[in-house]
């Protein structure tokens, strides 16, 4: 999870400071980051004032997760120690929301905080996102 948040911040910085045409995308060295962190990165941003673009893998399709899920997971990682991520959290069938592709299969056994973060970030699992919000103290503490 920490690697994902770190990569997210790097990508944001690259988009701000490295606006280039799509033809110059090799200069971004995002492939090096993908290799280093065993991740897949895609970027497409447009400067609305001058029309300049930055893109990397612009034709690759990526799953989309709600933006808040990244920040809630980051807050969870800020609050917890690495060992805490192995703690199992139980939840009930009543907690399962309409889009819960991962958590719906773990009502009986629960999931670790790391697994919950993964479900929220990688699969946009809404129940996992709510579990993270509970864990960090709700939106009031966010």
Residue 66: its pLDDT value, please?
84
- Which alpha helices (DSSP H) does the chain contain, by range? 2-17, 30-37, 67-79, 113-123, 126-135
pLDDT tens, position by position, 13-59: 555 554 455 545 455 588 888 888 888 888 888 999 999 998 889 99
Cα separation of 139 and 53, whole Å?
34
Residue 30: its pLDDT value, please?
87
Residue 10: its pLDDT value, please?
59
Tokens of 78: 């800020």
pLDDT tens, position by position, 52-100: 998 889 998 876 668 899 999 999 999 999 999 999 999 999 999 999 9
Residue 19: its pLDDT value, please?
47
Catalytic residues: 66
Strands 88-89 and 111-112: antiparallel
Instruction: Give 12's pLDDT tier (boundaries 50, 70, 90).
Output: low
Residue 24: its pLDDT value, please?
53
Q: Which of 15, 65, 4, 74 is nearest to 39 (CA)?
A: 4
Residue 121: its pLDDT value, please?
94
DSSP state, residue 50: T
């Amino acid at each position: 999870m920490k690697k994902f948040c770190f990569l997210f911040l790097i990508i944001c910085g690259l988009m701000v400071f490295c606006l280039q045409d799509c033809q110059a995308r090799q200069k971004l060295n995002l492939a090096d980051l993908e290799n280093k962190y065993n991740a897949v990165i895609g970027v497409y941003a447009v400067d609305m004032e001058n029309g300049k673009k930055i893109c990397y893998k612009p034709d690759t399709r990526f799953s989309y997760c709600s933006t808040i899920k990244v920040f809630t997971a980051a807050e969870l990682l800020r609050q917890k120690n690495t060992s805490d991520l192995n703690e199992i959290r139980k939840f009930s069938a009543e907690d399962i929301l309409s889009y819960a592709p991962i958590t719906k299969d773990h009502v009986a056994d629960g999931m670790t905080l790391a697994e919950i973060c993964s479900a929220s970030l990688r699969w946009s699992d809404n129940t996992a996102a709510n579990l993270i919000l509970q864990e960090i103290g709700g939106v009031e503490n966010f």
